[in-house]
A and B are shown apart, each in its own frame.
Chain A
Amino acid sequence: MLKLDRISKVYKVGVFGGRDLTAVRDVSFEVGPGEVVSLIGESGSGKTTIGKMVLRLASVSSGAITLDGVDVSTVKGSGLKGYYRKVQGVFQDPFSSYNPIFKADRVLSMIKDEYFPGVGGTEWRHKIDASLEAVRLDPDQVLHKYPHQLSGGQLQRLLIARALLLDIEVLVADEIISMLDASTRIDVLNLLADLKTRGLGILFITHDLSLGNYISEKSVILRRGAVVEMGATDRVFGNPLHPYTRKLLASVPQLHKKWEPLEAEAEPRDGQGLVQVEDDHFVAGGERG
Chain B
Amino acid sequence: MSTVSLRVENLRVWYRTLRGDVQALDDVTFAVADGEIMGLAGESGSMSAMNPTRKIGKMVQELLESRGVGFGAMRVELDRRLELVELSRDVLDRYPIELSGGMKQRMVMVLSTLLNPSLLIADEVTSALDVSTQKAVAETLVGFRDRGFVKSMIVITHDVSLVYQIADSIMVMYAGKLAEKAPTDVLVGAPRHPYTQLLISSLPEVGVRYAEKRLTGIPGTPPSLLRPPVGCRFRDRCPLAFEKCLEEPPFVEIEPDHFVACWKAS
Q: Using a CB–CB distance below 8 Å, which chain A residues touch chain B?
A: 42-43, 151, 153, 179, 181-187, 189-190, 193, 207-211, 213-215, 234, 237-238, 247-249, 251-259
Distance A249 CA – B131 CA, assembled complex (angstroms): 9
User: Using Cβ atoms and an 8 Å threshold, which residues of chain A touch B189?
Assistant: 256
Number of interface residues of B (CB under 8 A): 40
**Pairwise interchain contact B204-A255, C-beta atoms closer than 8 A:** no
Provide 13 A-B residue pairs closer than 8 Å at the C-beta atoms, listed in order of the A residue: A43-B130, A183-B221, A186-B215, A187-B217, A189-B204, A209-B131, A213-B208, A213-B210, A248-B132, A253-B159, A253-B162, A253-B164, A255-B164
User: Using Cβ atoms and an 8 Å threshold, which residues of chain A touch B41?
Assistant: 182
**Which residues of chain B from 158 to 181 have any CB-CB distance to chain A below 8 Å in the complex?**
158-162, 164-165
Distance A215 CA – B208 CA, assembled complex (angstroms): 12
- A171, chain B: closest CB distance, angstroms: 19
Distance A119 CA – B152 CA, assembled complex (angstroms): 63
- Given known contacts A182-B158, A182-B159, A258-B164, what 8 new A-B pairs fall within 8 Å (CB)? A182-B160, A184-B221, A186-B217, A214-B204, A234-B211, A249-B206, A255-B161, A255-B205
Q: Using a CB–CB distance below 8 Å, which chain B residues touch chain A?
A: 41, 43-44, 101, 130-132, 134-135, 138-139, 158-162, 164-165, 188-189, 198-200, 202-211, 214-218, 221-222
Distance A257 CA – B139 CA, assembled complex (angstroms): 15
Contact of B131 among A42, A181, A183 (CB under 8 A): A42
**Pairwise interchain contact B209-A247, C-beta atoms closer than 8 A:** no
Given contacts A190-B217, A213-B210, A214-B215, contact A247 B132 (CB under 8 A): yes
**Pairwise interchain contact B130-A209, C-beta atoms closer than 8 A:** no
**Pairwise interchain contact A211-B204, C-beta atoms closer than 8 A:** yes
**Pairwise interchain contact A186-B204, C-beta atoms closer than 8 A:** yes
Given contacts A42-B130, A189-B204, A209-B131, contact A255 B211 (CB under 8 A): no
Q: Which chain A residue shows the least CB distance to B216?
A: A186
User: Using Cβ atoms and an 8 Å threshold, which residues of chain B touch A182?
Assistant: 41, 43, 158-160, 199, 202
Distance A234 CA – B211 CA, assembled complex (angstroms): 8
**Pairwise interchain contact B206-A252, C-beta atoms closer than 8 A:** yes
Given contacts A207-B130, A251-B132, contact A257 B211 (CB under 8 A): no
Contact of B44 among A181, A193, A254 (CB under 8 A): A181
**Pairwise interchain contact A238-B209, C-beta atoms closer than 8 A:** yes
User: Using Cβ atoms and an 8 Å threshold, which residues of chain B touch A247?
Assistant: 132
Contact of A184 among B205, B215, B217 (CB under 8 A): B217
